[in-house]
Amino acid sequence: MGTGVTIEVSGLSKWFGRANVWSDVTFTMPPGEVSVLLGPSGTGKSVFLKCLIGLLKPETGSIFIHDTDLVSARAEQLYDIRKLFGVLFQDGALFGSMNLFDNIAFPLREHTRKGEREIRDIVMEKVDMVGLTGDEDKLPGEISGGMRKRAGLARALVLEPEIVLFDEPDSGLDPVRTAYLNQLIIDLNAKTDATFLIVTHDINTAQTVPDNIGIMYHKHLAMFGPRELLLTSEDPVVAQFLNGRREGPIGMSEEKDADEQAAENGRTRFTVPSMKPQLRASGGLERKAVARRMQRVMNMVHELPPRARHAVVDSLDEGDRVRYRDVIGDARLA
Ligand SMILES: Nc1ncnc2c1ncn2[C@@H]1O[C@H](COP(=O)(O)OP(=O)(O)O)[C@@H](O)[C@H]1O
Ligand SMILES: [Mg+2]
């Protein structure tokens, strides 16, 4: 499988007629890392994913992948770039009349000249990766929602993508299935080293899966950064989102009015709970992105607020403590 790629988004804005979905979205998804995108419904998270794969065209800005700007790319270039993406849509988007094998084989038959023997090998490998061995002959209607998502994931992986996008993979799943899916996502990231972007509403997923978190709010990307920064943030919007609290600037209809907000201000101040540990790849698997990310975060650790710095240091294992002792030993980190 390919190695993950960097995706550099800058100054991106999207309009539908006179309606602005979001503007000035600027951030970089580091290679092979897992990022989560959160935000209230209707803030344009799905629109953003569609812009990434070239289904929608942003009005301004650029999206650079491998020195190609997707926004200004010509049709042929876009066709090549699109092959780098695997996408898991909300419902798995399987063809109801095809069994799982044919569903998963579909992109290979459609986009490659591979023979049936090779297609079988690839499909069965992906079927095994997502834990569906023995279910290949079933129809989507005969299996659970969780299995449909895994089948959709197998199909998203058959063309060996360097970038995998997930639009609410955990919607409609119970907490146990979500926990299995999240572990599967982390394990697949270890096996592929592809760059992952997950849109989710699930707080536990946001707290335990990603290396980086972004929040769409108020027609902007309100914040994007390492998990330690967002999960320890006292910013009212960020803290409300990542802790699933009713109190905060986000109300039922996206934003609370001044009276509601004033009524809350008298209440006790919220302390951000300590960070949950991040999911690790299952035994025997290693995420290459982890070491790369550690290096990256250590290079920026002095720019982080104190709570985030401490969270970074607390999450280091013994080897990293030795490797980065000069950085940690710095008085500013004590
Ligand atoms: N093809 C489209 N044409 C016009 N408006 C659209 C289209 N797709 C999405 N929108 C609008 O863009 C906004 C963001 O939608 P969406 O990306 O689906 O939000 P989210 O995924 O964050 O819930 C919504 O107001 C939606 O109605
Ligand atoms: Mg959506």
- Here the CATH number for the domain that contains residue 43 is 3.40.50.300
For residue 175 and ligand 1, the question of a CB distance below 6 A is answered with no
Q: What is the pLDDT of residue 138?
A: 97
Q: What is the pLDDT of residue 329?
A: 75
pLDDT band, very low/low/confident/very high, at 255 (cuts 50, 70, 90): low
Residue with the smallest CA separation from ligand 1 atom 18 is 46
CB atoms within 10 A of CB 247: 18
- Domain membership of residue 2 (yes or no) is no
Q: What is the pTM of this model?
A: 0.91
Work out the average pLDDT over 25-34: 98
- Domain membership of residue 246 (yes or no) is no
What's the total number of domains in the chain? 2
- Domain membership of residue 46 (yes or no) is yes
Residue at token pair 């146990």: 176
57 CA distance to ligand 1 centroid (A)?
A: 13
Residue to mutate (ligand 1; options 36, 47, 199; most atoms within 8 A of CB): 47
Q: What is the pLDDT of residue 125?
A: 94
Q: Largest Cα–Cα distance of the chain, in whole Å? A: 68
Torsion angle of C-alpha atoms 179, 185, 187, 192, degrees rounded to 10: 180
For residue 79 and ligand 1, the question of a CB distance below 6 A is answered with no
Rg (CA), the chain: 21
pLDDT band, very low/low/confident/very high, at 145 (cuts 50, 70, 90): confident
For residue 15 and ligand 1, the question of a CB distance below 6 A is answered with no
- Domain membership of residue 127 (yes or no) is yes
pLDDT band, very low/low/confident/very high, at 258 (cuts 50, 70, 90): low
Answer for the pair 106, 95: CB distance below 8 angstroms, yes or no.
Answer: yes
Say if residue 146's pLDDT is above 70.
Answer: yes
- Domain membership of residue 158 (yes or no) is yes
For residue 16 and ligand 1, the question of a CB distance below 6 A is answered with yes
- Domain membership of residue 122 (yes or no) is yes
- Give the type of residue at 194: A
Residue 245: C-alpha distances to residues 152, 203, 220, 238, 272 (Å): 32, 10, 21, 10, 11
Are 301 and 203 in the same domain?
Answer: no
Are 135 and 13 in the same domain?
Answer: yes
Sequence-ordered list of residues with C-beta below 8 angstroms from that of 145, at least 6 positions apart, any chain: 172, 173, 177
**Angle at CA 92, nearest 5°, toward 86 and 94?**
100
pLDDT more than 70, % of the chain:
90
Are 228 and 311 in the same domain?
Answer: no
Alpha carbons 132 and 89: distance in angstroms, whole number: 18
238 vs 268: which has the higher pLDDT? 238
- Domain membership of residue 1 (yes or no) is no
Work out the average pLDDT over 62-86: 92
- Domain membership of residue 199 (yes or no) is yes
Provide the domain limits for residue 198. 7-233
pLDDT band, very low/low/confident/very high, at 328 (cuts 50, 70, 90): confident
For residue 14 and ligand 1, the question of a CB distance below 6 A is answered with no
- Residue 7: phi and psi, rounded to 5, are -120, 120
pLDDT band, very low/low/confident/very high, at 59 (cuts 50, 70, 90): very high
